[in-house]
Amino acid sequence: MRGASDDGKVSYNFNYGHLDEEGFTPGNGLRRNNISIGGRAQMSNKFTISGSLNFTNNNVTSPPVAASAGDGDIGWSTFGNVFFTPRSVDLVGLPFELPENGGSIYYRDGNDIINPYWSIKNSPRGQVTNRVFGTSQLNYAINDNLSATYRFGLDWYNERNSAASNKNGTLFTQAIQGFLDTWDNNVSVYNHYVGINGSYELNEDLGINFSLGAESKSRVYDRNGVSSSGQIVFGIQRHFNYENQTPIAYYGRRNTQGVFGQVDLDYSDYLFLSLSARNDWVSNLPSENNSMFYPSVSVSFLPTAAFDGLKSDALSYLKVRAGYGSSASFPTGYPKVNTVSQSSNQNGGALGGIITNSVSNFQANPELKPELLGELEFGVDARLANNTIGVNASVYNRKTTDMIVFKPLPTSTGFTQTQDNIGEVQSDGVEIDLDFEMFELLPVNTDGLSWNTRVNFTKSKSEVTQQDDVQINYGGGIFALNSAIEGFPLGVITGGRIERDDNGNFVVNGSGNYGSQFEMYIDDNGNEVPAGTEGAREILPVIGNPEPDYVMNVINTIQYKNFTFGFQFNH
């Protein structure tokens, strides 16, 4: 619903949305309610005020979901246990719980995989999110060319999470003994913005627009909850029905201050130049590393507007553009200080419950620096054949310096991971976007009917170009990892592979199985070389490329009067 005053100086809007979705798996569903209000008022004293406020309630329920393998022992996954169940097993018809204690029973001799039906009934997961976000803005027209703006933004949300299981399951301790975790994540983001905006015509051909401003942003993350284990009475999932309770707690806060400026010049509406720069400071890095300056520049030229006679039915619009942009990324949490974990209820034997303190497994890195991303791009935009064909094409080179990743550490250091800058990553790519008004191109009489087709094609290739460590494993699971290795794409997939002999044949060991290999050797160019080659680097074998050859989407929209039908193909 929306409305406005007769003179148009006051307007308002109200929206409500509801979504109720049930998954094909029992116990999986989503329910969402959205409410938003907004308004704008132009005052007689050169002031204009505007604002919007949104509220969202989101309720998600799900059975246990995790990574899984054939024997189900990596993570508790309902779907994994279904996928690896032989088709000869009557999953629906067989009983899934023991009548004497309600425990899980499955088809395997050792009963060593949790029956997925038992997981659905006895181990629910849930998250209820209440979120409020909005902005309020005050504009003041200093004169016809200058204006001042103040804007306040708020984003607050509470996530109420729960995960539980009755006891007498199998394989996992949480399933065997029973557990209940409940915790709230509270996040508050406050944003203040103040700026001066200007627009001038320097002469009949040259115009300038500019903005100068500052921004302050504060983000607070507060987690509190209880983790209980050792269920006493089967079927009651409340904290009083568990033997042990430990707190769940975390607190983090980061303030970001920034100043920025932008200048846009246009000459005769066919030549445009944009210059911008920003500097940010963050509170969670040492003072010598907590600041980052990042500029941007772009230029564009419209030949169809600059040269008389170039514009025609065949070529109605043409723009050639080039630009360099940069942006900064800062770490979250407290990466520069070591922390201590406290457990308030540990078994002390004859002493009873005791309080223990331990150094965190995370090693502080006071030398951590912000991450800088820079991108150089060239492109062309065109409208052809009486505006029935659109072309947008770009090529780019992107360089990330001091990329921040969580880096694993040997346990001999006393820690398991840290945050670190891994060096430099470069990527090159091409993006092409085409759109066609199909019924304008085809000889079809379409009274009131339109069909638009968009084809989006992207192809990119990345490479780690500088890195001190031979290999950094920053993601993945047990059988495959995402790694950073100089000379390979970022996130290259590494892990064990089948052993081969010198002729490339698979090696069969004495037990009749293929042999496994967990090391390979590469030269400075990233090529695999035999063990013992001078200057070779030893890494975990590369078993996959995370980058697709290309990504293409074909998006179709058919519209008739007030009805719209869309479909798309992804490849």
Q: Which residue has the higher pLDDT, 453 or 25?
A: 453
More confident residue, 93 or 187: 187
What is the pLDDT at residue 547? 94
Please state, in angstroms and rounded to a whole number, the distance separating the CA atoms of residues 82 and 114.
Answer: 10
pLDDT digits (tens, 9 = 90+) for 489-537: 999 999 999 998 888 899 998 888 999 999 999 998 888 998 889 989 9
Residues in the chain: 571
d(CA 144, CA 289): 42
Q: What is the mean pLDDT of the chain?
A: 91
Q: Out of 226-235, 245-254, 285-294, 347-356, which region has the weakest mean confidence (pLDDT)?
A: 347-356
Q: How confident is the model at residue 425 (pLDDT cuts 50, 70, 90)?
A: very high
Q: What is the pLDDT of residue 25?
A: 84
Q: Is the pLDDT score of 90 beyond 70?
A: yes
**Cα–Cα nearest to 78, from 160, 184, 165:** 165
Q: Model confidence at 261, in pLDDT bands (50, 70, 90)?
A: very high
Residue 188: its pLDDT value, please?
97
Strand pairing class (146-165; 125-141): antiparallel
* Secondary structure class of 352 (helix, strand, coil): coil
Query: CB-based burial of residue 77 (10 Å sphere; 0-12 exposed, 13-18 middle, 19+ buried)?
Result: buried
Average pLDDT over residues 462-470: 91
The answer to whether the CB of 516 falls within 8 A of the CB of 479 is: no
CA distance to 103, 146, 263, per residue, from 195 (Å) = 64, 11, 13
User: Quick check: helix, strand or coil at residue 121?
Assistant: helix
Buried b (16+ CB within 10 A) or exposed e, 414-450: ebeebbbbbbbbbbebebbbebbbbbbeeeeeeeeee
463 or 25: which carries more pLDDT confidence? 463
What's the CA gap between 408 and 472, in Å, rounded? 7
For residue 49, give every residue at least 6 positions away whose Cβ sits within 8 Å of its Cβ, in sequence order, or none.
40, 41, 43, 136, 137, 138, 139
Contact yes or no for 233/240 (Cβ under 8 A)? no
* Res. 302: pLDDT tops 90: yes
Kindly give the residue spans of alpha helices, DSSP state H, lying in 73-125: 78-83, 116-122
Task: Report the pLDDT averaged over residues 219-223.
Answer: 95
pLDDT of residue 343: 66
pLDDT at 197: 96
Better-scored residue on pLDDT, 371 or 474: 371
Q: Beta 563-570 vs 542-544: how paired, if at all?
A: unpaired
Say what the pLDDT of residue 353 is.
64
The lowest-confidence range among 139-143, 156-160, 300-304, 355-359 is 355-359
Residue 486 pLDDT > 70, yes or no?
A: yes
**Whether pLDDT at 429 is above 90:** yes
Averaged over 12-16, what is the pLDDT?
A: 96
pLDDT at 440: 81
The answer to whether residues 529 and 522 touch, using CB atoms and an 8 Å cutoff, is yes
Average pLDDT over residues 57-83: 83
- Is the separation of the CB atoms in 107 and 87 below 8 Å? no
Q: In this predicted structure, what is the pLDDT of residue 445?
A: 65
What is the model's pLDDT at position 71?
64
Dihedral pair phi/psi, residue 43, rounded to 5°: -85, 165
* Choice between 239 and 83, residue whose per-residue pLDDT is larger: 239
In this predicted structure, the answer to whether residue 247 has a pLDDT above a threshold of 80 is: yes
Condensed to tens digits (0 to 9), the pLDDT of residues 330-389 reads 998 888 888 777 666 665 666 666 777 778 888 999 999 999 999 999 999 999 998 899
Asked whether residue 109 carries a pLDDT value surpassing 90, the answer given is: no
The partner residues of 256 in beta bridges, in order of sequence, read: 217, 282
Q: Are 58 and 129 in contact (CB under 8 A)?
A: yes
Beta bridge partners of 42: 48
Q: How confident is the model at residue 342, as a pLDDT? A: 67
Give yes or no for residue 75 having a pLDDT over 80: yes
Q: What is the mean pLDDT of residues 470-486?
A: 86
Rounded Cα distance between 309 and 312, Å, is 7
Higher pLDDT, 438 or 268: 268
Give which of 278, 288, 458 is closest to 373, Cα–Cα. 278
Question: Which two three-digit tokens encode residue 482?
Answer: 């995402």
Give the mean pLDDT of 260-282.
96
* pLDDT reported for residue 428: 95
Averaged pLDDT, 548-562: 93
CA torsion 219-225-229-234 (nearest 10°) is -120
What confidence score (pLDDT) does residue 194 get?
98
pLDDT for 236? 96
Helix (H) and strand (E) counts for the chain?
5, 32
Specify the pLDDT at position 31: 96
Question: Helix, strand or coil for residue 350?
Answer: helix
Tokens matching residue 340? 């201590």
The percentage of residues in the chain with a pLDDT greater than 70, rounded to a whole number, is 96
- Cα 312 to Cα 386: distance, rounded to the nearest angstrom: 8
